[in-house]
Structure 1
Amino acid sequence: MSEKKAFTLGLIPKLIIAIILGILVGSYLPEVVTKIAVTFSANFGKFLNFVIPLMIIAFVAKGIADLSEGAGKLLLATVGMAYCSTLIAGSLSYTMAHGIFPSFISQEMVEQIKSASEKNLSALFEIPLEPAIDVTGALILAFMVGLCVSILRQRNSGETFYKLINEFNEMINLVLSKAIIPLLPFFIFGNFANMAYSGSVFAILSVFIRIFGCILVLHLLYVFAMFLVACTTTKRNPFKTFPKMFPAYFTAVGTQSSAATIPVNVECNKQMGVTRQIREFCIPLCATVHLPGSMITLTACVYTLLYMYNMPHSFGLILQFIAVLGVAMVAAPGAPGGAVMSALPFLPIVGVATNSPMASILISLYLTQDSFGTAANVAGDNAISMLVEKVYYKHILKQPKPVEEESLS
């Protein structure tokens, strides 16, 4: 007799419940309750900042170390395409925000949010936890270790270090699945309790419901445009290939984690006819370096805050922010909300203090719809892998793609 499967509540319902409870607690319960929630959120944010550089090392180093022939060239091609895609996505997001958002952000809403945000509560205490290594250092270390191990393995050496990288990767996955993802609803609960206490939450949500709609439409249009380019270049049918990424897209909506979606995305990539060597390298690597959905969301949110607070928001200024984030957010999609946490240290580029009420608003706004940004990242990874496959076989190996895995599209 088979046992009944235990009912488990998905991440999205948990986040919705956290938002509702946060609003109720901040609005009606004593201040001390909200302070406790805010204290948890502040310390959890520090923990997430501590884990992010370790994620970069774990995921990126493993992805590169798994390569065999042409590792350096293939890495360069993949990272170059992913970075260009991220820059284009951010630029399109700015164009959309600059053209549309001012039409529905009234001065009355702006004043309400600004005055309320100044009443935000601070944490009772904060643990003095800093990352063991900064994001840039982790990125360089991951590239260096991954490339060296890949080269050593081609010389029948380096297996001990390769096993170490694999085990470290498993450890970070364990931290994600057992700590970060389960605690994320409590983090959002604290943020929304604080906003409800200050009175800013309803004004913020009224603005961002419309902004979220625009962001979601741009996500879908951009991903389809990527598939159109990739399928045309690789002689696939885009209308048959595009639906094959749906399982990965909806899995990412539920998990809010590119890392957690890797197994499903690899299978989707297989259905598109991408060879095993490319899909098993490209999908895990792109899960850490390809960020168009996150960039679209962050750019739109940052533009909105700058516009609300009447701060400079020119394209040149935002482009600097996008260019830095294209590197700084590497591995951020591995953790739900990781992209916005990685962006915090670089907010001063656009004139926003990291510990300001504006930064707190940005975190809460981003996290409420992070799942769709992650889903766009994941869907776009499939388009990048098709282009990388073309480059690998035609220009690096200079040989035909294996016949047994040719796409039937």
Structure 2
Amino acid sequence: MTNLLRRWNQLSLVKRIIIGLIVGIILAIIVPNVAKPIGIFGSLFVGALKAVAPILVFFLVMSAISQHKSGQKTNMKSIIVLYLLGTFLAGLVAVVASFIFPVTLTLGAGAENVSPPGGVVEVLKALLLNIVSNPITALSNANYIGILAWALLLGLALKKAPEATKTMISNFSDALSQIVRWVINFAPIGIMGLVADTIATNGIESLVDYGQLLLLLVGCMFFMALVVNPIITFINIRQNPYPLVLKCLKDSGITAFFTRSSAANIPVNMNLCEKLGLDKDTYSVSIPLGATVNMAGAAITISVLTLAAVNTLGIKVDIGTALILSLLSAVSACGASGVAGGSLLLIPLACSLFGIPNDVAMQVVGVGFVVGVIQDSCETALNSSTDVLLTAVSEFRQWRKEGKKIVIPRK
């Protein structure tokens, strides 16, 4: 048994996750009655990630800001610009793809008498209210915009605090990162439970029914990851972008695909940034920030599902409204939670632009949860891997200007 455990631990996390995935599928197909109770492991895994992620972001950002020395160079401005640009382009890609490959949904009652007025004030209002949310409420509700705001303020307020206080906060941050690593080590068991329960309950045919929608969602995310992101990377670093892009997808995206939480993937991303030789003062802020506001995958999900509802209801969309939707998707995506399924709850905000009633919009959200097994995993993989990619791109751009050689480690 000891030798078996040692061999198991010697396997990479990705290999262990694949084994858990295969075991879950086999159990769901062969013994579905046994597979459903095993789903508790999946619930425990997701619950543990949801529990630790908000407080992890809070202490990581607060620690990084409080320990930042005045005069130290960081690339935060360019990173934020890249985050916002990437999220907007993702929404635009989704809108264009939805026009080229329109899909429709099967919706129930409540879809009649739809008349489009619309506005985006509600989105901005919600974001502002989230910023000033009570910190305890923000932590308990996983309101990452509020958590980020309070972490930034407390970090700034603690910049002149004694070193012992800063060290204590840093120790809390390190301890929480270690807890997340422990939880992620249980990913193979958790994923086995999630897959077994999902397939045993809904059947694989539940995904086949929405095959066209899934193809559009995943296709947009792949296009963003393998075409748009490499273009952004090449423009900034002026060399072959794919070694860096594929490195981020392999080391960050695969783990995020299975954990389905950008916030929980923060320690993995920070470890990757360290391997890439990036400045800790920069990535210790940009990675938690990215898990909150860099949401290219969320922008794609919001745009595709909203336009699927629009097509289903026969609403005509002009180019101007489509561009507004791209911007609205980007703004809405910035308010998406860094946990599984966060973007789906923002679909009603985008649907309101076309006057789609809330009861119909919530039916669209329901469709999102059906395809969420694949959609949310791909979305998180894109979001989380892009956090590292754009952080690296910003710093490598500075290296290029200074004449430094950019080397992407293979391992």
Distance 1:386 1:9 in 2: 28
Structure 1 pair 177–221 and aligned structure 2 pair: CA distance change class (3 A): same
Determine the structure 1 residue equivalent to 2:167.
Answer: 163
- Deviation of 1:355 (Å): 11
The residue that corresponds to 1:55 in the other structure is: 56
Q: 1:63 to 1:361 in 2, by over 3 A?
A: farther
TM-score, normalization: structure 1? 0.67
Task: Report the counterpart of residue 381 of structure 1 in structure 2.
Answer: 391
Q: Offset at 1:260? A: 0.7
Q: What is the alpha-carbon distance in structure 2 between the residues aligned to residue 292 and residue 228 of structure 1?
A: 25
Q: 1:175: how far off?
A: 2.7
Partner AA of 2:390 in structure 1: G
Contact 1:27/1:193 (<8 A) preserved: no
Aligned residue in 2 for 1:95: 95
* Matching residue within 200, 206, 215 for 2:206: 200
Match of 1:64 in 2: 65
Q: CA RMSD in A?
A: 4.2
Change (3 A) 1:52 1:93: farther
Which residues of structure 1 form unaligned runs of 5+?
116-128, 232-236, 333-337, 391-399
- The structural deviation recorded for 1:138 is 0.9
Correspondence for 1:10 among 2, 13, 18:
13
Deviations 1:93-119 (A, max 9, x none): 3234323432xx4x6xx44xx69xxxx
Q: How does 1:87-236 map to 2 (within 5 A)?
A: 87-102=87-102, 105=103, 110-111=105-106, 131-132=139-140, 134-149=143-158, 151-152=159-160, 157-180=161-184, 182-183=186-187, 184-185=190-191, 186-196=193-203, 199-205=205-211, 207-209=213-215, 211-231=217-237
Q: 2:334 aligns with which of 326, 332, 357?
A: 326
Q: Calculate the TM-score normalised by the size of structure 2.
A: 0.67
Residues 1:262 and 2:265 aligned together: no
Cα distance change on mapping 1:248 and 1:178 into 2, 3 Å: same
Task: Give the paired residue count.
Answer: 343
Aligned to 2:24: 21
For the residue of structure 2 that corresponds to 1:6, the secondary structure is helix
Shift of 1:382: 0.8
Q: Secondary structure at the match of 1:250?
A: helix
Q: How far is the alpha carbon of 1:346 from its aligned partner?
A: 3.1
- The CA distance in 2 between the partners of 1:79 and 1:144, in whole Å, is 20
SS in 2 for 1:56: helix
Of all paired residues, the percent bearing the same amino acid is 13
Read off the aligned partner of 1:56 and give its amino acid letter. V
- Is the alpha carbon distance of 1:159 and 1:89 closer, same or farther for their aligned partners in structure 2, counting shifts above 3 Å? farther
User: What amino acid does structure 1 have at the position aligned with 2:61?
Assistant: V
Gaps (5+ residues) in structure 2? 109-136, 257-264, 351-357, 407-411
C-alpha displacement at 1:187, in angstroms?
3.3
2: CA distance, partners of 1:158 / 1:344: 43
Give the structure 1 partner of residue 129 of structure 2: none
Determine the C-alpha separation between the residues in 1 that align with 2:63 and 2:396.
Answer: 21
| Kept after mapping to 1: 8 A contact 2:306/2:347 | no
Partner Cα separation in structure 1 for residue 301 and residue 39 of structure 2:
22
One-letter amino acid matched to 2:385: A
The alpha-carbon distance between structure 1 residues 324 and 64, as it changes in their structure 2 partners (threshold 3 A), is: farther
1:129-170 residue CA offsets vs partner (Å, 9 max, x unmatched): 995253232111111122233x32xxxx43122122212212
Measured at CA, do residues 25 and 368 of structure 1 come closer, stay the same or move farther in structure 2, by a change above 3 Å?
same
How big is each residue's C-alpha offset from its partner over 1:204-256, in whole Å with a ceiling of 9 and x where there is no partner? 3565246424421321222222223323xxxxx423x7635654442113432
Pair 1:201–1:12, CA change in 2 (3 A): farther
Deviating beyond 6 angstroms after TM superposition, the runs of 4 or more aligned structure 1 residues are 291-294
Q: Establish whether residue 407 from structure 1 lines up as the match of residue 404 from structure 2.
A: yes
DSSP 3-state at the match of 2:243? helix
Letter in 1 for 2:268: A
Change (3 A) 1:265 1:131: closer
* Cα separation, 2, equivalents of 1:362 and 1:285: 32
In 1, the alpha carbon distance for the partners of 2:343 and 2:209 equals 24
